[in-house]
A and B are shown apart, each in its own frame.
Chain A
Amino acid sequence: MKKALIASLLLLSGVARAQPSAPDSDSDEAGLAMQMTQTEGDIKNSSALLRDAGLNDYLHGLVCQVAAGACAGLRVYIVENAGENIIALPNGALEVWSGTMLRMENEAQLAHLLGHEIAHYQHKDSLSQFHRMLDTNGLVAVLGVAASGIGMGFMGTPASMAALGIQFPHSKSEEEEADRAGFALATDAGYDPAAAEIIWRNADPEYLRQHPGSEARLAALQTMAQRLPARAAWKTGTEIYQAAVGSYSERWVNDELLSSTDSVALFARLSASGRGLFRYGLGEAYRKRGQPGDETLAAQAFHAALAAPDPQPLAWRGLGLVAMQNGDKAAARAAFKQYRTALPFADDRAMIDYYLAQP
């Protein structure tokens, strides 16, 4: 049964070399193969799919740079989800969550992360995952997970892809091999070797749960980077990446603030770039967390956001709200007036005017 299952998945895969016999259409294996096709179809139709042609072209181009000759078998989908994840299906579909795009500081980091997932795909690690799932739960349960997601109840949605990965993370040896091969793919494409370690050092705990590793992983990636000859021409692609992502950054900052209860660490890291948008995100993250001292830190972040090369007028509102919470009416009024001047047609102007009218 397992051989037939693998055959059916290889048949779906763009890298299949031999032509295995098609699984019996009534078999469980055919059902699983259909599920993969169905899942990809559902991603294509999902309202969460980001359809911006420019951004999709950019990402597909990056995948092709990293995957080199294997590019033809890969299809990339950007899904609006504030979490951090890239999921490689065994049929060559790569689902990149927008939260991952937010977390990347430059093109080199994204190239290394894509390289890692492409390596999983090329080594057919997803098939091994399915093997383990079958050994543990049986095919019916596997299909059940794929069909439902974890507690999400949406048939064949992108959530189901994540559910498969969350329940059945790659093995440590698969991770090590994907690190090695992904590193080679990204550096062969000219991307800064140091970026590989940085993405894993910065990764969200949930993403690391699906990609088991440790300090040993970071050390191994560091060693790999040190072994490469120093080259001034290693690509980092910070500006290229920011230009490609463009105005989506603002949307993803808001999505992150909506979805997470504590984004302070993330925005503190991203703020190191000096971008006002991330400093504004940091201010809002402090306000949202609301621990002792956070209001002061929020005010500092908002001031920094206003002083940045890309000043954020929303930071005036943040300053006004912090001052209002602290009972500093004069400071609140001054900040709200600045906000109204900077954004005269702001969506919440009636509420701000009400605050301003209070004695």
Chain B
Amino acid sequence: MKAFALLVCLLLAGCGLEEMEAGSETPVGNGIFVTPQPGFAEIHLAAIRYWTRNGAGLDELGFYTGIKSGEPLFSVPGLAKTDLPVFQSRMTPNDVAELAASALTKKYKQAAHAGGLHPCPFGPVTGFCFDLSLTSEEGLEMRGRAIARLQNGVLDLFVFTAPAEYYFGQVGPAVDQIFSSIRFQ
């Protein structure tokens, strides 16, 4: 399956693919480390960087860390930063969940929805988790899971998305383990 991810990556100019070393703590920004599970690779294309097991568009785990007030959560190809919803330092967990749905709406051009917001451990501190869902324009049901923390007006957010059929269930448990492995420097 990694061969497919590599093939997709090779088709995109400027794309880099790096296999993650399972079990080896990896920095993901803002002093946060996670432990990759077997089979993950990191794809980086310009400002976009995420982990995947099966390839671009199949399952994507993005680490968006150290987001400050006025910054978007992530880049979306074809959209200027000014067209993207931005984080504000006074946002609550409810707002962050809606913001993530809003950002996915921009990415997929279809209304995404956040739900199931609840507190959850983010490493040694209490963060919050929520689910995401949308139907792509091609009719593909997508599901997502996110974990985040707000600290001193700065947001750290990890978002996993995959087609609901097969891929979400296949990769989801490994993503949960990655979320459980969060450690601060």
Contact = CB atoms under 8 A, between A and B. Distances in A.
> Is A bound to B?
yes
A290 B90 contact: yes
Given A152-B109, A261-B85, A351 B135 contact: no
Contacts of A259: 102, 105-106, 111
B88 A347 contact: no
A324 B115 contact: no
B105 to A, nearest CB: 5
A345 interface: no
B94 A48 contact: no
Which of A261, A288, A351, A354 has the most chain B CB atoms inside 10 A of its CB?
Answer: A351
A77 to B, nearest CB: 14
Contacts of B106: 259
Interface in A307-353: 317, 321, 324-325, 347-348, 350-351
Contacts of B110: 47-48, 80
Interface stretch (B23-31, B59-67, B116-124, B174-182): B116-124
A28 interface: no
A279 interface: no
Interface stretch (B6-14, B44-52, B136-144): B136-144
Contacts of A80: 110-111
Given A347-B116, A350-B117, A351-B128, A321 B111 contact: no
Contacts of A351: 93-94, 117-119, 128
B111 A324 contact: no
B111 to A, nearest CB: 5
B158 to A, nearest CB: 18
B137 A255 contact: no
A348 B117 contact: yes
Interface in A39-87: 45-48, 80, 82
Contacts of B101: 258
Interface string B93-135: 1110110011001100111110111110000001010000001
B149 to A, nearest CB: 13
Which of A80, A151, A255, A354 has the most chain B CB atoms inside 10 A of its CB?
Answer: A354
A348 B94 contact: yes
B170 interface: no
B111 A255 contact: yes
Q: Assign chain A's interface to a size class.
A: 20 to 34
A157 interface: yes
A350 B119 contact: yes
Interface string A144-159: 0000000110100111
Interface in B48-100: 78, 85-86, 88, 90, 92-95, 97-98
Contact of A321 (B78, B94, B113, B118): B94
B137 to A, nearest CB: 5
Contacts of A120: none
A15 B128 CA distance: 58
Nearest to B120: A350
A314 to B, nearest CB: 11
B105 A258 contact: yes
Contacts of A324: 92
Interface of B: 78, 85-86, 88, 90, 92-95, 97-98, 101-102, 105-106, 109-113, 115-119, 126, 128, 135-140
22 contacts: A47-B110, A48-B135, A82-B111, A152-B109, A154-B109, A158-B137, A159-B137, A254-B111, A254-B113, A255-B111, A258-B102, A258-B105, A259-B102, A287-B95, A290-B88, A324-B92, A325-B92, A347-B115, A348-B94, A348-B115, A351-B94, A351-B128
